Amino acid sequence: MNMSRLMASTVLVASISLGAFGVSAGEITVMSWGGAYTKSQVEAYHKPWMAKTGNKLKSVDAPNPAAPIKAQVIAKNVSIDVADVEFSDAVRLCDEGLLETIDASQLPAAPDGTPAIKDFIDGALTECAVASIVWSTIYAYDHTKFKGKKPATMADFFDTEKFPGKRGMRKGAKANLEMALMGDGVPAADVYKLLGTKAGVKRAFRKLDQIKKDVVWWDAGAQPPQLLADGEVAMTTAYNGRIFGAAVGEGKPFTIVWDGQILDLDLFVIPKGAPNKDLALDFIKFSTDTQRLADQSKYIAYGPARKSSAALVGLYQDGKTKMGPHMPTAPDNMKNALLSSLEFWADHDSELNERFNAWIAAN
């Protein structure tokens, strides 16, 4: 499971600290993506870690934490201790020597004693990163905007005649090209084979051409629910947990279409030269144990990256909504799901984003 977010980064800072402990307490800075996602981490990880250890934690957000990590490490002026990044960024940053290594043998075992290395799902542990969640890019719509037949397939997202209205899309090649091919009838299983050809790339952009004049571009994960809520778009691509939070948590009239969803992992990393490396590792060990990963699912619909956490996933924080059916990995949601390809984007990210940016700029 793979995926990257290569966007410009504007950091929005929000501090969190208990303040009840003495000056001897340590402090770490943790960077994440903001919105409902960061809020879920605050409740499941930040507050419990501070309460247990007496340390303090400052939470900062960025549209893509990978960008400030690279900038800080290169400048030898690192202020981030822990960051939440996508799988492909975790691997790339590690390969470039920009992250500290993390010994997976130090991570807590499952409650039954199963070592962490066997308890995390496949691909969730790398040389420099520890996964916390499985998430997906989906598209969603405001069901009050469509009185008759409702959108149900990826093809419907690209059909502005049948389903009129603006479309929200993340400003980048990744996910958009895959969705364009699936919207053009390509099965998820064949997407990367086709996208690896010139003809496949041309076909994807030709599909995007069909809705280009109707697209509202977004950069940060908190934007799509707001675009829907404000009526600026009738449908938008989004991260599934953000739409869940708006629909179930805030009562918004939003519906997720799971057809063509693109699955990925997010992982915790420690930037090279982090000022509080030992505390950072302690935070990661605490936050990725079985109970803590299950706890996050109380606040957002992302699946835990440990097998032993699955049985502990229960109700949403409202005390009545069962979280299982809202997870990307629920059987009913996996019928035409695509695993984002780390290998493909490692090879083609730069060229396809250059082409994508040129396509946006063209009339």
* CATH code of 284's domain: 3.40.190.10
Same domain, residue pair 320 and 207: no
Q: Output the six-digit token pair for 11.
A: 């950091």
Same domain, residue pair 221 and 346: yes
Same domain, residue pair 178 and 279: no
Residue 5 lies in a domain: no
Same domain, residue pair 185 and 92: no
* Residue that has been written with the tokens 């400030």 in this structure: 68
Same domain, residue pair 142 and 84: no
CB 291 within 8 A of CB 110: no
Same domain, residue pair 29 and 113: yes
Residue 23 confidence (pLDDT): 35
Residue 305 lies in a domain: yes
Number of domains in the chain: 2
Residue 123 confidence (pLDDT): 86
Kindly report, residue by residue over 150-196, the tens digit of the pLDDT: 999 999 999 999 999 999 999 999 999 999 999 999 999 999 999 99
Q: How far is CA 125 from CA 107, 121, 300, 341, 344, in A?
A: 10, 8, 22, 16, 20
Residue 7 lies in a domain: no
Domain range holding 157?
Answer: 137-263+336-361
Residue 140 confidence (pLDDT): 98
Residue 92 lies in a domain: yes
Query: What 3 state SS string does the chain have?
Result: CCCCCCCCCCCEEEEECCCCCCCCCCEEEEEECCHHHHHHHHHHHHHHHHHHHCCEEEEEECCCCHHHHHHHHHHCCCCCCEEEEEHHHHHHHHHCCCECCCCHHHCCCCCCCCCHHHHECCCCECCCEEEEEEEEEEEEEEHHHCCCCCCCCHHHHCCCCCCCCCEEEECCCCCHHHHHHHHCCCCHHHHHHHHCCHHHHHHHHHHHHCCHHHEEEECCCCHHHHHHHCCCCCEEEEEHHHHHHHHHHHCCCEEEEEEEEEEEEEEEECECCCCCHHHHHHHHHHHCCHHHHHHHCCCCCCEECEHHHHHHCCECCCCCCECHHHCCCCHHHCCCCEECCHHHHHHHHHHHHHHHHHHHHCC
Residue 3 lies in a domain: no
Same domain, residue pair 162 and 183: yes
Task: Determine the Cα–Cα distance for residues 252 and 246; give it in Å rounded to an integer.
Answer: 6
Residue 242 lies in a domain: yes
Same domain, residue pair 259 and 269: no
Same domain, residue pair 124 and 142: no
Kindly report, residue by residue over 215-228, the tens digit of the pLDDT: 999 999 999 999 99
Same domain, residue pair 210 and 96: no
Same domain, residue pair 233 and 343: yes
Q: Is the pTM of this model over 0.85?
A: no
Residue 41 lies in a domain: yes
Same domain, residue pair 93 and 23: yes
Kindly report, residue by residue over 70-95, the tens digit of the pLDDT: 999 999 999 999 999 999 889 999 99
**Residue segments in the chain with a per-residue pLDDT below the cut of 70:** 1-24, 363
Residue 338 confidence (pLDDT): 94
Residue 344 lies in a domain: yes
